[in-house]
Structure 1
Amino acid sequence: MKLSLVAAVVVAVCAFAGHRFIKLREVVLSSREVSVKHLPNCQLLKNLDFGAEDLTILSNGLAIFSTGLKYPGMPSYSEDPGKMYSLDVLDSAADPVEMEIKAEAELLESFNPHGISVFIEEDSVYVLVVNHPQPRHSQVQIFQLEDNDLIHLKTVTHDLLHSVNDIIAVGVDSFFATNDASSPNEFLHLMTVLLGYPQCTVVYYSPAEVTVVAAGFLSANGINMSPDGRMVYVSDILDHEIVVFQINEGHHLTPVKVIRIQNIQSDRPLVTQVFADDGTTIIGSSVAAPYGGKLLIGSVYHKALSCDLE
């Protein structure tokens, strides 16, 4: 009887381990082959030599980039603090220009920018930047844009904002934020991924309220909002899907649709692919934004591209 029980347990454990191994291969896309698909006139942007993990483009064509991210498990080729750059997309001869950050020395020395978002109120432009002064330690830095300078206004921290990847601003100091890890503890997060136990969250922050508004992601990554401000889109980089949420009263989110990214290179893809590269031109692309017939593409630690949209 005891031998039968032990054998049953061993079989169950082996079956579970085999299942998780197959699922992890799917998560990391181990069998995927990338077919190169380039756009016309793709040019590497000058000065962005250590990545452009995130970027956003204002309505006047001013693009803002976060660069120099140092992130656990990712290569890093500079020991210097991260920087912010701007680019006039409408000027074909322009190159990215470093933005001067006017802040206290402690912030400048530990600046490690990740996701960014912009909020415009009347004639004032506010730039919100996710910052990791230490591994798995997250802040949101709030700046006001003046000419090409970023004037530091405020630092936001909270226990619920423990592993912030990206944000979307809904006010000068209020935003939705994604946590790409279930815990700031690397081992605990790794276990949730290995066991297939999705625990990552989306958090709403304002000075009056901080709350989890969505959960159940393996790794909540990028976040964006529909032009009418009614929907929020959250990408789960490990589940390979985008969840569409409706914003309800009190900034609570209700899921309305899940877009699974699959068959991208087939004759009938569920999502249209406009650019793909095998690492020859750009490695680890993390963001893309269109404007005025151009497509800007950033990467976690490598380069940034500007291409013509067909």
Structure 2
Amino acid sequence: MARGLLLLSLVVLALALVAERRAAFRNRFNASREVKPLDLLGCRLIKGIETGSEDLEILPHGLAFLSCGLKYPGIKSFAPHKPGEILLMDLNEEKPEPVVLPIHGDGLDRASLNPHGISTFTDEDNTVYLFVVNHPQFTTTVELFKFQEEERSLLYLKTIQHELLPKYLYVAELLGHKIHVFEKLADGSLKARKALAFDTLVDNLSVDPTTGDVWVGCHPNGMKIFFYDPENPPPSEVLRIQNILSSNPTVTQVYAEEGSVLQGSTVASVYQGRLLIGTVFHRALYCEL
């Protein structure tokens, strides 16, 4: 009898632990959150982007680079066999549309291009370089390109590969629902200044160089990203944070949508009243604010 009670107690304890772990998992992914739509006037889906626009970067003079076609284990892909691409949009045009940037140079396997994050650097000669996180065969590298503006193409320079590359220092803590703010000290070290908590999964961050506002692509319900259901798609959300270094930052929900228009937003960036919103695997939105 005592043995039976002990066994029953162990079973109950195990089930309680499983339930606790399951609840914690669901909380980290905001599995129960639903989105109340908040539409932006002047928005349109960007023609030609059908397989995601996970990250994007806008140069000060209005040229936008977008990394498209990310494929990653556990993430939905609408074109699993199509190589990824880097697109360019000129936001100075009246009706900007994306174009695929041709890639020149030897040493890059274009068929395995699987771009993720993207960043730019402009040197003193105004030459623009792109650093693109790439996942060929689901490994992690960083590809370095030189942007040839007259030709509207990319020149592949080299692949940066290191055993520590898969370990990132995130300012946006996706599953922690936080954005951390660090101060860079003179010796190159980082000092934590603050952490802002949100009721959403914060993804890529973009800083408006004019105002200092931080724009955030968010996943209101991260569970729907990893367990994709076309009948109940992942929603999208964009936040703007003003005066992030102050004691009382202003956080505004700029866009929210349950997934009927845009699924799985990851990034948002602005240029002179024009907003681009990218996604993990879906489409991209262009808005005039």
Q: Distance in 1 between matches of 2:76 and 2:15?
A: 34
Shift of 1:112: 0.7
Q: Helix, strand or coil: the match of 1:50?
A: coil
**Aligned amino acid, residue 24 of structure 2:** K
Q: Distance in 2 between matches of 1:70 and 1:8?
A: 44
Q: Distance in 2 between matches of 1:246 and 1:6?
A: 54
Match of 1:126 in 2: 129
Q: Distance in 2 between matches of 1:46 and 1:103?
A: 28
**Aligned amino acid, residue 298 of structure 1:** G
Listed one character per residue, the Cα deviations across residues 200-226 of structure 1 (whole Å, up to 9, x for unaligned) are: x42xxxxxxxxxxxxxxxxx4xxxxxx
Match of 1:75 in 2: 76
Match of 1:277 in 2: 257
Task: Name stretches of at least 5 consecutive residues in structure 1 with no aligned partner.
Answer: 163-178, 180-200, 203-219, 221-233
* TM-score, normalised via structure 2 length: 0.75
Does the CA contact (< 8 Å) of 1:261 and 1:270 recur in 2? no
Shift of 1:252: 2.4
Does the CA contact (< 8 Å) of 1:111 and 1:132 recur in 2? yes
Match of 1:154 in 2: 158
Question: Alpha carbon RMSD of aligned pairs, Å?
Answer: 2.4
Deviation larger for 297-306 or 26-35: 26-35
Q: Distance in 1 between matches of 2:122 and 2:250?
A: 34
Q: Distance in 2 between matches of 1:255 and 1:9?
A: 43
Shift of 1:86: 0.6
Match of 1:252 in 2: 189
Listed one character per residue, the Cα deviations across residues 66-87 of structure 1 (whole Å, up to 9, x for unaligned) are: 1111111112122121111111
The structure with higher relative contact order (CA 8 Å, sep 6+) is: 2
Task: Name stretches of at least 5 consecutive residues in structure 2 with no aligned partner.
Answer: 201-219, 221-236, 238-248
Listed one character per residue, the Cα deviations across residues 221-262 of structure 1 (whole Å, up to 9, x for unaligned) are: xxxxxxxxxxxxx11111111111122244322221111003
Deviation larger for 76-85 or 242-251: 242-251
Distance 1:18 1:270, change over 3 A: farther
Match of 2:173 in 1: 236
Equivalent residue runs for 1:31-110 within 5 Å: 31-78=32-79, 79-104=81-106, 106-110=108-112
Equivalent residue runs for 1:154-303 within 5 Å: 154-162=158-166, 179=167, 201-202=168-169, 220=170, 234-262=171-199, 271-303=251-283
Q: Helix, strand or coil: the match of 2:24?
A: helix
Deviation larger for 245-254 or 93-102: 245-254
* TM-score, normalised via structure 1 length: 0.70
Q: Helix, strand or coil: the match of 2:251?
A: coil
Q: Distance in 2 between matches of 1:75 and 1:247?
A: 37
Distance 1:15 1:250, change over 3 A: farther
Shift of 1:5: 7.3
